[in-house]
Chain A
């Protein structure tokens, strides 16, 4: 329809035609111009400008919209603990995420210039920008899973932790009462009767399910009958339980298994003098001991519950965890934008500095960063604007019960208005607050545009 109307128009005023005909032409030109702009203006007016005005008005009324309450909703925003939490979390996001991203982007942009596969690297890091927040949210829900058998992050954390401290072998094991081992307050077990060099000991434990026995475990009865040399103490730690029944408590029966990998300590006068680890048949041996009475101790480390890793999505760490997911998405953006700025730096300034013997760090610190400052500012500001509106990632990654610890302005606005809160007055006020927060960016954009037009 637009097309047919437009076709009738003649060329509008390249040279200025005068008289009545000229005026008619100019008017027709204006009509044509308005027809071109009209669809956009209508949509923007009805669905963007009008809603902004409506929200500002609505934010001055109560939850049901019947009573004028003035600034009450805005005051409520800073009284209501949930909303206050959202304001605080948004503040954390706005400070932390853009800072980390700009820093990381700068470092990577500088480093990637030194390798030949820079393009491939940039593509790889930029790719998450194509992935929806929803998909990224699911990806990171998986990665942050608390169970180290499911979440890759905790699997990594636990294996690093266990590599340094050793994993405990028998969290469920305990000693039977009155069978020669007494439990200390810290969870360790100590022999009731002392052992002297030349003596042996059989330490029986129960409470280890057959499936929890290490695969290497062997029957302990052979080692239990060994005798000790005059300057050594020998013994076994065994599972005092015969599968299928028939075993006698406190005795190493034929089929009873040794417990490998346990730490055993020889203690004299309350002080540890030697320490060893049991072999696959549960046997251990202390050699070169001075004469005297020793107590044997199974330290509590043997029985500590296994290290379960970090509770990434618990109340304390959920916001940093979600910011981590955000970094995965946006680092490539920061790197590419800063890299583009890097390409425009004057090469001779860098070369001259190199000639003068400046090292890479000095060049980075004294030349690259100061010259890049305007680009870094643009990246930072852009990220701040985007971070303020973060919604999907928080909504997806934070599990239900932790949602209120992770909430930010955008999610809070959603919850208050639509997600059960049903307070459209407060919801509108939160929307207006979001708008107010981006007004500096609005002014910045308008100014920059005006300047570019001169």
Chain B
């Protein structure tokens, strides 16, 4: 009796989770199918009509997208913003993380507490002052400006994460390396970085996705020649409804990179997001 009831309960649970899974997949499937339909078909009916007339599907929107210089330029800008930001955040934070974990300098622990406090500072508060500053430095509206802003606001979390990871290293390991006469730079590159690889990987993936997906910072700091895909698409959203054949494939193009990264590095990704949630 109990066994039957448990089996029945399990079937209900399975069915419930299947429904939830389908609900979760529908929005993404809807976007993808919409991206494969012409403007005329979209005006006539929803994406689910492809199940009865699959002839609507074609990659024409995507080839049109590749011919759209605004979109391709924006795609490269996205790469040119997110890759350097990721590299810079990792390098700068690894250097600082090592200093905060294993090197002595006056006020070290107090300064690190300030870094911890900065973890939750919202980017909004930096927009206006940094825009003024960049205006004076000629960085406003340029890719380096966007990158610098992202690096600065990525650093508190990055330093926090790497410092804590490096601090877990056995003290004896470092002392042995120092006894052997290794200087700090050597120890850093030959010992600390390799040991810290898992944390660095999680950080890099998290940071890359964060910047790839950003819209707010680029909305302010990028001009029309340096704007990433998110901003380019955002600028077309005013005509929503009449341009689904551009927005849907554009949105899909912008999300396919992070989703591939997600499936390729699931574990690091989940760890990075989990650790980053302190922000």
Point out the residues of chain B lying under 8 angstroms from A208, CB to CB: none
Closest Cβ of chain B to A350, distance in Å, is: 15
Point out the residues of chain A lying under 8 angstroms from B117, CB to CB: 442, 445-446
A95 within 8 A of B: no
Flag if A134 contacts B106 (CB, 8 Å).
Answer: no
Flag if B92 contacts A39 (CB, 8 Å).
Answer: yes
Point out the residues of chain A lying under 8 angstroms from B238, CB to CB: 400
Assuming the A-B contacts A150-B42, A385-B279, A450-B113, are A55 and B128 also in contact, with contact meaning beta carbons closer than 8 angstroms in the complex? Answer: yes
Flag if B96 contacts A36 (CB, 8 Å).
Answer: yes
**In whole angstroms, how far apart are the Cα atoms of A310 and B226 in the complex?**
40
**In whole angstroms, how far apart are the Cα atoms of A368 and B121 in the complex?**
34
Q: Which residues of B (1-45) have their CB < 8 Å from a CB of A?
A: 9-10, 13-14, 16-17, 20-21, 24-28, 30-31, 34, 42, 44-45
Flag if B278 contacts A445 (CB, 8 Å).
Answer: yes
Indicate which residue in B10, B48, B183 contacts A11 across the interface (CB closer than 8 Å): B183
**In whole angstroms, how far apart are the Cα atoms of A262 and B220 in the complex?**
58
Q: Mark B148-160, 1 if CB is under 8 A from A, else 0.
A: 1101110110010
Flag if A138 contacts B247 (CB, 8 Å).
Answer: yes
**A151 nearest CB neighbor, chain B only:** B46
Could you count the A-B residue pairs with CB atoms below 8 Å apart for me: how many are there?
Answer: 295
Flag if A155 contacts B46 (CB, 8 Å).
Answer: yes
A441 within 8 A of B: yes
**In whole angstroms, how far apart are the Cα atoms of A396 and B105 in the complex?**
47
Closest Cβ of chain A to B26, distance in Å, is: 7
Flag if A336 contacts B274 (CB, 8 Å).
Answer: yes
Flag if B124 contacts A410 (CB, 8 Å).
Answer: yes
**In whole angstroms, how far apart are the Cα atoms of A114 and B255 in the complex?**
31
Main SS at interface, chain B: helix
Indicate which residue in A12, A33, A44, A392 contacts B156 across the interface (CB closer than 8 Å): A44
A223 within 8 A of B: no
A143 within 8 A of B: yes
Interface centre among B129, B159, B238, B255 (most CB of A within 10 A): B129
Q: Which residues of A (336-386) have their CB < 8 Å from a CB of B?
A: 336-337, 340, 360, 382, 385-386
B50 within 8 A of A: no
Q: Mark A122-135, 1 if CB is under 8 A from B, else 0.
A: 01111111111111
Assuming the A-B contacts A111-B13, A127-B262, are A428 and B121 also in contact, with contact meaning beta carbons closer than 8 angstroms in the complex? Answer: no
**In whole angstroms, how far apart are the Cα atoms of A57 and B269 in the complex?**
39
Assuming the A-B contacts A442-B117, A449-B116, are A131 and B255 also in contact, with contact meaning beta carbons closer than 8 angstroms in the complex? Answer: yes
Point out the residues of chain A lying under 8 angstroms from B96, CB to CB: 36-37, 39-41
Flag if A152 contacts B48 (CB, 8 Å).
Answer: yes
Main SS at interface, chain A: helix
B61 within 8 A of A: no
Flag if B183 contacts A7 (CB, 8 Å).
Answer: yes
Point out the residues of chain B lying under 8 angstroms from A43, CB to CB: 92, 148, 151-152, 155
Flag if A333 contacts B24 (CB, 8 Å).
Answer: no
Q: Which residues of B (142-197) have their CB < 8 Å from a CB of A?
A: 148-149, 151-153, 155-156, 159, 175, 178-179, 181-185, 188
**In whole angstroms, how far apart are the Cα atoms of A125 and B44 in the complex?**
31
A6 within 8 A of B: yes
Q: Mark B79-117, 1 if CB is under 8 A from A, else 0.
A: 000000000000011011011100111101001011111
Flag if B215 contacts A124 (CB, 8 Å).
Answer: no
Point out the residues of chain B lying under 8 angstroms from A163, CB to CB: none
Flag if A128 contacts B24 (CB, 8 Å).
Answer: yes
Q: Which residues of A (93-137) have their CB < 8 Å from a CB of B?
A: 108, 111-112, 114-115, 121, 123-137
A29 within 8 A of B: yes
Point out the residues of chain A lying under 8 angstroms from B203, CB to CB: none
Q: Which residues of A (25-49) have their CB < 8 Å from a CB of B?
A: 26, 29-30, 32-34, 36-37, 39-41, 43-44, 46-49
Q: How large is the interface on A (under 10, 10 to 19, 20 to 34, 35 or more residues)?
A: 35 or more
Point out the residues of chain B lying under 8 angstroms from A54, CB to CB: 128-129
B57 within 8 A of A: no
**In whole angstroms, how far apart are the Cα atoms of A438 and B278 in the complex?**
11
Assuming the A-B contacts A6-B185, A30-B106, A129-B273, are A47 and B31 also in contact, with contact meaning beta carbons closer than 8 angstroms in the complex? Answer: no
**B179 nearest CB neighbor, chain A only:** A14
Flag if A48 contacts B156 (CB, 8 Å).
Answer: yes
A427 within 8 A of B: yes
Indicate which residue in B111, B237, B261 contacts A138 across the interface (CB closer than 8 Å): B237
Closest Cβ of chain A to B51, distance in Å, is: 12
B201 within 8 A of A: no
Closest Cβ of chain A to B128, distance in Å, is: 6
Indicate which residue in B99, B128, B159, B212 contacts A58 across the interface (CB closer than 8 Å): B128
Interface centre among B21, B120, B155, B252 (most CB of A within 10 A): B120
Closest Cβ of chain B to A238, distance in Å, is: 30
Point out the residues of chain A lying under 8 angstroms from B120, CB to CB: 385, 438, 441-442, 445
A413 within 8 A of B: yes
Which of A185-193, A212-220, A429-437 lies at the interface with chain B? A429-437
| In the A-B complex, the 8 residue pairs with the closest CB atoms | A132-B213, A33-B103, A47-B152, A40-B96, A36-B99, A51-B129, A130-B262, A54-B129
What are 22 A-B contacts with C-beta separation under 8 Å? A10-B181, A11-B182, A12-B184, A33-B99, A33-B103, A40-B93, A43-B155, A52-B126, A126-B262, A129-B273, A130-B209, A130-B255, A132-B230, A134-B233, A135-B255, A137-B237, A152-B46, A360-B9, A396-B234, A414-B127, A431-B125, A445-B120
Q: In the complex, given contacts A58-B129, A132-B213, A445-B120, what are 4 additional A-B residue pairs having Cβ atoms less than 8 angstroms apart? A: A14-B175, A36-B103, A150-B45, A417-B127
